[in-house]
Amino acid sequence: MKGIILHGGHGTRLRPLTHTGPKQLLPIANKPMIQYAIEKLRINGINEIIIVLGKTFRKKVEDTLNIEKNKDIKIYLSDPKGSALYNYIVNGELKSEGGSITEGIGSSRITKNFATAKIDGAFSIDDKESLPIIFDLIQNEGLSLGTSCGINIAGAIKLGKELGPGKTIVTILCDKSDRYNSKLFNKKFLQEKGLPYPNWL
């Protein structure tokens, strides 16, 4: 059994105490609040603990709890065309190439939380790769997912081919297709962009 501790949020209701650190690190009897949760889990025999960190004071949390990245876990970025993060991870250069109909992911700059992310590699995903995956999942699995999911799944497939059999790969299904109705299910739009579409559209 594994334990999960949610460690996000800005702690606005506890200000000014949380101006310089997250609420989970506020001391209670000279010990960070989160330490009590960790100890309680361990008392109950749960020693594998996942701490979900937000972007607020991430480095401070890692340093306080002495959190280190498990060397056996590899983290890869799935980046849409038009974003500069793939080139930044692979070549050390913020350079974007191409474009994507995907919205809300990718970036042309390095944010504070991304700057401290320990990423092992990256894949640049073209819409021509991700869209067939989305349409296939709708038709064969009944999952109506958005283009960000398509980018993530395409990256997971590439990683699977790179790592080979016997590995566990985890990705995030982060959006639904209804957000993209005017693009994803618009045959004329897809044709004009030279993008693939299913025969049932």
Q: Mind listing the pLDDT tens digit of every residue in the chain (201 residues)? A: 778 887 777 777 878 887 777 777 888 888 888 888 888 888 988 877 777 776 667 777 777 776 666 677 888 999 999 999 999 999 999 999 999 998 888 888 888 778 877 889 999 999 999 999 999 999 999 999 999 999 999 999 999 999 999 988 989 888 889 888 899 999 999 999 999 999 999
Q: How many CA atoms lie within 13 A of 165 on its CB side?
A: 0
Query: What is the β-pairing status of strands 27-28 and 2-7?
Result: unpaired
pLDDT of residue 69: 65
pLDDT of residue 67: 62
Which domains does the chain carry?
2-65 (no CATH), 76-192 (3.40.50.1100)
Distance between CA atoms of residues 17 and 105, nearest Å:
33
pLDDT tens, position by position, 58-106: 777 777 776 666 677 888 999 999 999 999 999 999 999 999 998 888 8
Tell me the angle at which helices 147-163 and 127-141 cross, rounded to the nearest 10 degrees.
100
Is 23 in contact with 17 (CB distance < 8 Å)? Answer: yes
pLDDT of residue 60: 74
Distance between CA atoms of residues 101 and 150, nearest Å:
11
- 98 Cβ neighbours under 8 A, 6+ residues apart: 81, 82, 126
Q: Hey, what amino acid is at 114?
A: F
